[in-house]
Structure 1
Amino acid sequence: MRRARPEQGDVIDGFRLDACIHRGAMSALWRVSRTEGECDDPPLLMKIPTLAEGEDVSAIVGFETEQMILPRLTGPHAPRFVAAGDFAQTPHLVMELVEGRSLHDIAKEGPLPADRVAAIGASVARALQDLHRQHVIHLDLKPANILIRPNGEAVFIDFGLSRHDELPDLLGEESDVPMGTAPYISPEQVIGVRWEPKSDHFALGVILYELVTGKWPFGNPQRKSGMMRRIWRDPVPPRAINPDCPPWLQEAILRCLCVDPARRYGSAAQLAFALENPDQATLTERATRLKQDGFWTVLRRRLKAPTRPSPAQIRIAAELDAAPIVMVAVDLANGVNELAERVRVQAGRAVEAEPGARLACVTVIKTALLSLEEDVDDQGRTAYLQRLIELKDWARALNLPQDTISFHVLEALDPAAALIDYVRKNQVDHVVLGARGSSALRRYLGSVSSQVVAEAPCTVTVVRLPG
């Protein structure tokens, strides 16, 4: 028996349908309110799948997938789950109605300036890192599935194609055909791989390309044969379409669009880091490329095109663990002393243990509450520049490749608060810092190291001098 189509004013599971926001081929979205109980709810949204005779089974499976995943997600980058109903009555999902603007609408304004593209990209990448840490790969990342809150945070919607590595992959069990949206689908998804977190990196690379050029890098093919071309045919470089695209942004975009996931960024946090620190980007030949690869290169790539591998038991957490961001905080206020040298040794060990790690070297200049003029040395260098030079000198002995290390001088009244804020903003996985010897005054006032240990949402290694 066919279900009646929901209409305004209907009550479903204690929620009244107030207004239809969107009605699409796969689902209808309604603004709803409770008929009783919590009247101080924030605005709520109900998603009702569109089910008709002969409906593609993937639409039903996709709804079941989202119904499993959404309640497990926490934090600001996914709508807050409220309630759900199954197929016994009217299937539905009730969630937070996110206040924000669709990236799909923002993309219509493109091409966008590079700094805005980078800011949006970094926000989405940080949200992706949070999603991946919760064991979820989105697998249908596109502007229409991303909302930007008024504070700039990115929110993902529509988890119907997603995979949670602690839940059954219902879609993967049903079919091995490519699932996703044609312009944004990754090469590995085209051949049936649904367990690669870096598929989301590829989709974000497509989004960045679109924002900076106004075009899709691989067009909008509707058949698998057309989607397969992205495995061997590289896109026109963004700078060839928009000369205002800076080399560092093209470097980031084309790295995201690498066919081999291993050649993309180690984690979404590392991508966000690159977009937020363009002055420290390591540029390769990709950065200034203006033409696509030649015929023979493309032919060789086509002859070596991968086929669908056997299903892999890749854990998303393991992928993130292999590409951590390690922050080393060093106090150089009194020059390089024995403690600073020991901190450097420990930082080297932390990075050596994780070949895919990125090291962020951080030092803090404690600023005065009121400063009328900026200190400069006899060569006209500001305190900031002096400390940056000292930090790079301190790190030189680590002998790390340029693309795995960066340097940051923070200026703050409260050094501990500045370090903790840096850790949270950049989704740092491991902090290494030194602690000076104890004293009655330090025990009374507290120390930077103890505050970082207490408040940093990650592993913290504290280095002390013996004795």
Structure 2
Amino acid sequence: MPVHVHAGMQIGGFELLGPLHEGGMATLWRVRHPDHADELLMKLPRIGYGEVATHIVGFEVERMILPALDGPHVPRFIASGDFEDQPWLVMEHLHGETLRPLLDRAPLPPAQVAELGAAAATAIHALHRQQVVHLDIKPSNLLRRADGSIALIDFGLSHHAQLPDLLAEQFNIPIGTAPYIAPEQVLGVRNDPRSDLFALGVTLYHMATGERPFGNPTSPAGLRRRLYQDPVPPRALRKDIPRWLQEIILHCLEVDPDQRYTTAAQVANDLQHPDQVPLTERAEREHRAGRWTRMQRWWRSKGHEHDPRGRPDEQLHEAPLLMVAVDLKQHDSRLTDALQLAVQRVLLAFPKARLACVTVMRTPRIGLDSNIDAEGRNRHVKRLLALRHWARALKLGDRPLTVHVLEHSDPAEALIEFARNNRVDHLVMGARGITGVRRLLGSVSARVVAEATCTVTVVRAPQPDENAPA
């Protein structure tokens, strides 16, 4: 029999202060403990007679996964246990509001949709790097904090690559929230991080249009429909939605996971730099796919075999974000050639990598310099064009490329901040010659190597062979 809980009760040394939320799967209580200064949150699953078995198993999944997680995008695990027949879980009480209330005001302005989506994608990427797929991304599980960042909550349906998948072991049915579940989840696949990108696309679609792209199906047949039927393009519902936002949303909502973004970091990057989103036919789409295309998809879905990609972090490894820092003021052709060769080698090793070309335009610490040069040209635009010219030598073809001119008084700090804020995996930069001043003050590359949160490759120009014949 479930325990009757009430305010003032002690469970596992935690005092129950009052209920915070009564959900379909569990009740959340505010609690405190003498060893913790801050108020905490206790989750008590519903285990009464007639409760769905997935609720109880899902609670055990969360109790197993949450202690393995860390970072600012998830609640911190505190303790768990059992009180008579009642299991319990205590975690950090994250303050903020979920995105669910925003849906009542949808459609939201595109800029707000992009800001919220980028914050959510950043949190999802951080989770995937810990080998976990959430599998229940939806507005009510995205908690927005006062600083604008988003934390993920409720890991009852999640999959950890290194832990037993209790839900897959005990149930042979699609598990997820009907409006947001990805096509491969309908087929029982639970280890693909791109399922979270599909659910994020559903969330973006709803915020941008005010409507759900697939409605709220209540039957297996309704769920399977998304295996072959794509949603109405967002711009067909609201013409004021920019093409870049439709491109991103439909890219997330591709039926085939291989046609979606590879990582959440790529989604965040596009939402943060909408002016550089490569537009495809998705951006111009005005109607759903025709009957013949839907029939082809339906036929393929009948014998669909999903190719599992192994651990979630393996996909992140396959599609890193590569950043190359280009010093447009250095004129050593040998260093330029060596830097471009190093970038090409990394791109050859990672065919799905994205490239960001970055340069820093130094600005004074005090006062303002004109952004117009002696020839009357905008310095910022001039450097953007120079960066694109530099990248042409890489022969990228249709590989995604973005270019960025950072304005900062400290070039090293600008590069470090960009790499951190854009979740760069690998930074490649050149090292200029050592001079007396550099020995005294330290070089930009040395500081970046010391402080960057990603892998850094420093390239030097090949030195001429002094023993070579003249």
TM class by shorter chain equals: over 0.9
Q: After TM superposition, give the deviation of residue 275 of structure 1 in Å.
A: 0.9
Query: 1:437 aligned to 2:433?
Result: yes
- Aligned pairs for 1:140-155 (under 5 A) are 140-155=136-151
| Residue from 332, 356, 360 that aligns with 2:356 | 360
| Residue from 451, 456, 465 that aligns with 1:460 | 456
Counterpart position of 1:233: 229
1:225-268 residue CA offsets vs partner (Å, 9 max, x unmatched): 10101111111110011111100000000010000001001111
| Residue from 210, 218, 227 that aligns with 1:222 | 218
Q: After TM superposition, give the deviation of residue 48 of structure 1 in Å.
A: 0.6
| Residue from 124, 133, 149 that aligns with 1:128 | 124
Counterpart position of 1:447: 443
CA contact (8 A) 1:374 1:382 kept: no
The one-letter code sitting in structure 1 at the alignment partner of 2:145 is R
State the TM-score, normalizing by the size of structure 2. 0.95
1:329-374 residue CA offsets vs partner (Å, 9 max, x unmatched): 0111245643223111111111111000001000111111234441
Q: After TM superposition, give the deviation of residue 88 of structure 1 in Å.
A: 5.3
Q: After TM superposition, give the deviation of residue 109 of structure 1 in Å.
A: 1.4
Aligned partners of 1:419, 1:377: CA distance in 2, in Å?
A: 24
1:356-412 residue CA offsets vs partner (Å, 9 max, x unmatched): 000100011111123444142355322111111111111111111345111001011
- Aligned pairs for 1:229-378 (under 5 A) are 229-307=225-303, 309=305, 312=308, 314-335=310-331, 337-377=333-373
Q: 1:25 to 1:43 in 2, by over 3 A?
A: same
Aligned partners of 1:384, 1:313: CA distance in 2, in Å?
A: 42
Counterpart position of 1:93: 89
- Aligned pairs for 1:12-161 (under 5 A) are 12-34=11-33, 36-38=34-36, 40=37, 42-86=38-82, 89-161=85-157
| Residue from 165, 186, 193 that aligns with 1:190 | 186
Q: 1:464 to 1:311 in 2, by over 3 A?
A: closer
CA contact (8 A) 1:256 1:265 kept: yes
Q: 1:351 to 1:403 in 2, by over 3 A?
A: closer
> May I ask how many residue pairs the two structures share in their alignment?
463
| Residue from 398, 403, 408 that aligns with 1:407 | 403
| Aligned alpha-carbon RMSD (Å) | 1.6
Aligned partners of 2:11, 2:436: CA distance in 1, in Å?
A: 64
1:35-84 residue CA offsets vs partner (Å, 9 max, x unmatched): x333x2x2311111011124322212111110111111111110111111
Aligned partners of 2:459, 2:275: CA distance in 1, in Å?
A: 30
Aligned partners of 1:300, 1:379: CA distance in 2, in Å?
A: 58
Which runs of 5 or more structure 2 residues have no equivalent in the other structure? 464-470
CA contact (8 A) 1:20 1:31 kept: yes
1:408-448 residue CA offsets vs partner (Å, 9 max, x unmatched): 01011111111111111111111100111223321221111
1:11-36 residue CA offsets vs partner (Å, 9 max, x unmatched): 111111111011122100011111x3
Aligned partners of 1:310, 1:274: CA distance in 2, in Å?
A: 27
Query: 1:8 aligned to 2:7?
Result: yes
The one-letter code sitting in structure 2 at the alignment partner of 1:264 is R
User: What is the SS of the residue equivalent to 1:82?
Assistant: strand
Aligned partners of 2:355, 2:306: CA distance in 1, in Å?
A: 34
The one-letter code sitting in structure 1 at the alignment partner of 2:142 is I
Aligned partners of 1:60, 1:89: CA distance in 2, in Å?
A: 12
State which drifts further: 450-459 or 155-164.
450-459
The one-letter code sitting in structure 1 at the alignment partner of 2:381 is L
The one-letter code sitting in structure 1 at the alignment partner of 2:184 is E
User: What is the SS of the residue equivalent to 1:381?
Assistant: coil
Q: After TM superposition, give the deviation of residue 326 of structure 1 in Å.
A: 0.3
The one-letter code sitting in structure 2 at the alignment partner of 1:14 is G
Query: 1:389 aligned to 2:385?
Result: yes
The one-letter code sitting in structure 2 at the alignment partner of 1:237 is P
State which drifts further: 252-261 or 430-439.
430-439
State which drifts further: 427-436 or 52-61.
52-61
Aligned partners of 2:368, 2:127: CA distance in 1, in Å?
A: 45
The one-letter code sitting in structure 1 at the alignment partner of 2:248 is A
CA contact (8 A) 2:384 2:405 kept: yes
CA contact (8 A) 1:193 1:308 kept: no
Query: 1:207 aligned to 2:206?
Result: no
Aligned partners of 1:293, 1:44: CA distance in 2, in Å?
A: 49
Aligned partners of 1:423, 1:395: CA distance in 2, in Å?
A: 19
Aligned partners of 1:334, 1:456: CA distance in 2, in Å?
A: 22
State the TM-score, normalizing by the size of structure 1. 0.96
Percent of aligned positions that are identical: 50
CA contact (8 A) 2:192 2:308 kept: no
State which drifts further: 18-27 or 49-58.
49-58
User: What is the SS of the residue equivalent to 2:108?
Assistant: coil
1:79-121 residue CA offsets vs partner (Å, 9 max, x unmatched): 1111111375531111111111110012221100001001111
CA contact (8 A) 1:332 1:340 kept: no
Aligned partners of 1:310, 1:437: CA distance in 2, in Å?
A: 52
Q: 1:55 to 1:367 in 2, by over 3 A?
A: same
Q: After TM superposition, give the deviation of residue 289 of structure 1 in Å.
A: 1.2
CA contact (8 A) 1:281 1:403 kept: no
